A and B are shown apart, each in its own frame.
Chain A
Amino acid sequence: MSVLQALDIGLASLVFAVATWTIFAPGAFAATVGYVVYGLLLALVWIRLFAVDVALTEAAIGSGVTGVLLIGAAARLRTAGTAGDEKPLSGLSRLFVAVLCVLVALALAGVVLLLPDQGPSLAQQSMQALPETGLGNPVTAVLIAYRAFDTMLEKVVLVLAVVGVWSLAADKYWGGAPGEARAASPEPTLAFLAQILAPLGILVGIHVFWVGADEPGGAFQGGAILAAMWIIVMMARLTEAPQTNAFWLRVALVAGSLVFLAAGVAGAIFAGSFFAYPPGFAKPVILFIEAFMVLSIAVTLPMLVAGPPRREPRQ
């Protein structure tokens, strides 16, 4: 057991050190790379907490796709030369903020230490209700059955985020594609990478979604891996970003939440309660909803990374 403890302590210090670097690094780009490194280490921590579903999500979204988003932004802003523009806090207020943050962290650490070793839990109830959902993975059951309402609304949050990002376009570009028009010649190495990665990644994404019913995985994680594949294909310029006024794109963006919402209303009619599943048919209905959620996530995340439309729409 002691080796494991030593490893845990080492991992924890590494996470803390990289996080500190991310906050205090001299440049924005260095900090951003620090964050990517940090995200990957966090996936290890989640494994150590036996939360494999979360580790998958963290690896795909927290580290991978967020990393692309932030590194892209940092690389673009590197020319901004913001260093001289900002009024940094004065030494005294910096100290005050630091003391405040240390106090918050200490209070939190104290409370965390005080939490009972065997805390209250819904594990028992989750497992008891599991058979009627037809699922084997309780985390998926929480997301898609017990707390389906949360998950559906969270999909609506993603739709609003897309609307918000697109709202930053210039008027003349509304309906056009995101990203600048680029040179026709793609980076050959990147294209090569994308050509190999994409088919494999699609397989993995679908696999992760499919096993999610019973094993760690699910619609979020599978969708995020598929999203990453579309992102790399677009980065390699093997395909252009779609026009934001394309009807198929809108359909794909709202499909997950719309199907989920419709199923929720159907539950009120056929199963006696909003977002309830008809007894005996729970699993097929769940997989049906999840399939559309995968589609929506796989399309939404790349569109969020791509940013607002920056090209005039083609008629």
Chain B
Amino acid sequence: MTVDSSAIAATAGGSLLPLAILVPALGVLLSFLIGGRRAEWIALGLMPLEFAVAVAIACLVWRSGQPLVYTLAGYAPPLGIALRADGFSAVMLLTAGLIAPAAALYARTNFATPPETEKRAPLVFWTLLQGIHAALSLVFLGGDLFNLYVGLELLTFAAVPLGSLDGRPETVAAALRYLLFALFGSVFYLLGVALLYGAYGTLDIALLAPLVRPEPAVWLAAGLITAGLLAKTALFPLHLWLPPAHANAPAAASAVLSGLVVKGSFFLVVRLWFDVLAALPGVIPGTILAGLGSAAILFGSVLALRQARLKLLIAYSTVAQIGYLFMMFPLASGPWAADAFSGGVMQAISHAFAKAAMFLSAGLVAESLGHDRIAGLDGAARAMPVTFLALGLGGLSLMGLPPSGGFVAKWLLMKASIASGQWLWAIVMAAGGLLAGGYLYRVLAPALSGESPALKKAPARSRESIALALALVALLLAFAPPSFFAFLQIGRPAAGLALQ
């Protein structure tokens, strides 16, 4: 019942937390207000600042070894709203702070605005990109379940229209289906929130955690919130909306949607089960989540093998890679818990970078060849080696081959699952890696052989290097030092979980 007062009292430097949300939110408002070309300038101009805030937050968390806390409006929870940054939040903020500018720089070619006019697609893209950034910051930092609901809605409203920018019927239908799934998720999430408030009279995560007991209202709330978040994360069998929505969006938007947006709702699943519901026995729910994850890995990979278009293949591989994220849940208690958690987080980050790199590369392929049919990729790697290098390096992470962040993630998860005796998950993950190798082979083997095709236009060197840089980050994550994994544990009530 007693709550450590440090959990709701503001810490020094905490005022950075609202800034991480308000700066991109201000960018949204100003971009829409002033419009025209200035939307792009505002977005690009604010991104260094947003990244600097993320770095500062990470440094403060690192130095203090404690989560940063900020109470808004001077009202402490439960009446007011608190923001909190732990190691996991800081790492996700940094990830978003790197991928969003990369996508933005890449998108400058596609969404340039001629002087003195305003065009539809650029204005929408630059405004919503910042909206996604604001929403993700809120999702990573929010300490109040209803505040997080607002963050989820921000994320939905910013993400959905990006998929239908070209206005073709199939993209509009994809966006509509995405919206309906997301709204279903929001309603379920909100229902769970209502039940938790009814049971305990607070929605603050730190205050809620010590109150939660295994009782019907909490179990139902947990089920509803989880189901809602899974619909937004596109975990099998709620993944139907993802491939068309992600594959038909402009490449820069796909990179952000597939790399970052689905991680937002995944992040909240972790928050829910690790921070809010740590008191619940987690074996059965964890097993269910990992079971769905396993199905996602196998099903998504097999479908990826059968796709005819490169972007759809990459989108289905997202369905599969999301499955890996949920492997951490049944392994979250026991001496291997830290490994499992680190593996899950590492998977989230490395997939974000790798998938962003792959979608950007696929966008370059489609622009250069005029199509993205896999059957027509013969020799393409000879014509644009850097693009395919980025695609391949990203693929390394998906397969889980060393050296890559994906390798570290999958290795940690496998280690934890074998150590805990739950070897089934290890088998599924290994099979998923083989299948990933299969679908990447389908793309890379023909591209590396045969005559180099005539390009409509060669990809710009600068845009290729953006994709390559992202792929290299996914690679470099393999060399994360042990202190990085210690950093991820900051703010975890991990000791408590491990002892359950």
A/B touching: CB–CB < 8 A: yes
Q: In this complex, what residue of B is CB-closest to A313?
A: B118
Which residues of chain B in 167-186 are interfacial with respect to chain A, using CB atoms and an 8 Å cutoff? 167, 172
Per the bound structure, the CA–CA distance linking A277 and B21 in Å amounts to 20
Whether, in the assembled complex, A38 has its beta carbon less than 8 Å from a beta carbon of chain B, the answer is no
| A146-B79, A147-B80 given; A163·B32 CB < 8 A | yes
The residue from B138, B172, B201 contacting A122, defined by CB atoms under 8 A apart: B201
Q: In this complex, what residue of A is CB-closest to B25?
A: A156
Whether, in the assembled complex, A1 has its beta carbon less than 8 Å from a beta carbon of chain B, the answer is no
Cross-chain contact B33 with A153 (CB below 8 angstroms):
no
Which residues of chain A in 72-117 are interfacial with respect to chain B, using CB atoms and an 8 Å cutoff? 107-108, 110-111, 114-115
Per the bound structure, the CA–CA distance linking A188 and B216 in Å amounts to 58
Cross-chain contact B22 with A150 (CB below 8 angstroms):
no
Cross-chain contact B199 with A250 (CB below 8 angstroms):
no
Cross-chain contact B22 with A163 (CB below 8 angstroms):
no
Per the bound structure, the CA–CA distance linking A115 and B217 in Å amounts to 8
Find chain B residues with CB under 8 A from A171 CB.
119-121
Main secondary structure of the interface of A (DSSP, over half): helix
B208 to chain A, nearest CB (A): 11
Cross-chain contact B29 with A156 (CB below 8 angstroms):
yes
The residue from A110, A161, A273 contacting B157, defined by CB atoms under 8 A apart: A161
Cross-chain contact A111 with B217 (CB below 8 angstroms):
yes
B70 to chain A, nearest CB (A): 8
Find chain B residues with CB under 8 A from A161 CB.
157
Q: How many residues belonging to A are interface residues under a CB distance threshold of 8 Å?
A: 56
| A108-B220, A153-B151, A258-B29 given; A163·B128 CB < 8 A | yes
Bits for B155-167, please: 1 = Cβ < 8 Å to A, else 0.
0011011001101
Whether, in the assembled complex, A292 has its beta carbon less than 8 Å from a beta carbon of chain B, the answer is no
| A120-B201, A261-B26, A268-B15 given; A160·B158 CB < 8 A | yes
Summed over the interface, the residue pairs from A and B with CB atoms below 8 Å come to a total of 163
Bits for A13-38, please: 1 = Cβ < 8 Å to B, else 0.
00000000000000000000000000
Cross-chain contact A261 with B128 (CB below 8 angstroms):
no
Cross-chain contact A114 with B216 (CB below 8 angstroms):
yes
A107 to chain B, nearest CB (A): 5
Whether, in the assembled complex, A206 has its beta carbon less than 8 Å from a beta carbon of chain B, the answer is no
Q: In this complex, what residue of B is CB-closest to A121?
A: B201
Bits for B186-230, please: 1 = Cβ < 8 Å to A, else 0.
000001000100111110000000000000110010000000000
Cross-chain contact A115 with B124 (CB below 8 angstroms):
no
Which residues of chain A in 172-190 are interfacial with respect to chain B, using CB atoms and an 8 Å cutoff? 174-175
Q: In this complex, what residue of A is CB-closest to B73?
A: A275
Find chain A residues with CB under 8 A from B118 CB.
174-175, 245
Cross-chain contact A164 with B35 (CB below 8 angstroms):
no
Whether, in the assembled complex, B91 has its beta carbon less than 8 Å from a beta carbon of chain A, the answer is no
Per the bound structure, the CA–CA distance linking A111 and B218 in Å amounts to 9
Main secondary structure of the interface of B (DSSP, over half): helix
Per the bound structure, the CA–CA distance linking A227 and B236 in Å amounts to 41
Bits for A170-214, please: 1 = Cβ < 8 Å to B, else 0.
110011000000000000000000000000000000000000000
Whether, in the assembled complex, A291 has its beta carbon less than 8 Å from a beta carbon of chain B, the answer is no
Cross-chain contact B25 with A153 (CB below 8 angstroms):
yes
Find chain B residues with CB under 8 A from A108 CB.
191, 220
Find chain A residues with CB under 8 A from B153 CB.
154, 157
| A154-B150, A160-B131, A160-B157 given; A149·B33 CB < 8 A | no
Per the bound structure, the CA–CA distance linking A122 and B77 in Å amounts to 10
Find chain A residues with CB under 8 A from B35 CB.
245, 250
Per the bound structure, the CA–CA distance linking A160 and B159 in Å amounts to 10
Cross-chain contact A153 with B150 (CB below 8 angstroms):
yes
The residue from A107, A120, A148, A164 contacting B161, defined by CB atoms under 8 A apart: A164
Provide 16 A-B residue pairs closer than 8 Å at the C-beta atoms, listed in order of the A residue.
Answer: A111-B220, A120-B202, A129-B79, A145-B73, A147-B81, A148-B72, A148-B73, A150-B150, A156-B134, A164-B128, A167-B124, A261-B22, A261-B26, A272-B74, A273-B72, A274-B72
Query: 7 smallest A-B Cβ distances: which pairs?
Result: A120-B201, A164-B161, A276-B74, A174-B120, A160-B157, A275-B73, A167-B124
* Other A-B pairs beyond A120-B202, A146-B75, 19, CB < 8 Å: A110-B216, A115-B198, A115-B199, A153-B154, A156-B28, A156-B154, A157-B154, A160-B28, A164-B157, A167-B120, A167-B121, A171-B121, A174-B119, A258-B29, A258-B33, A264-B18, A267-B73, A273-B73, A276-B74
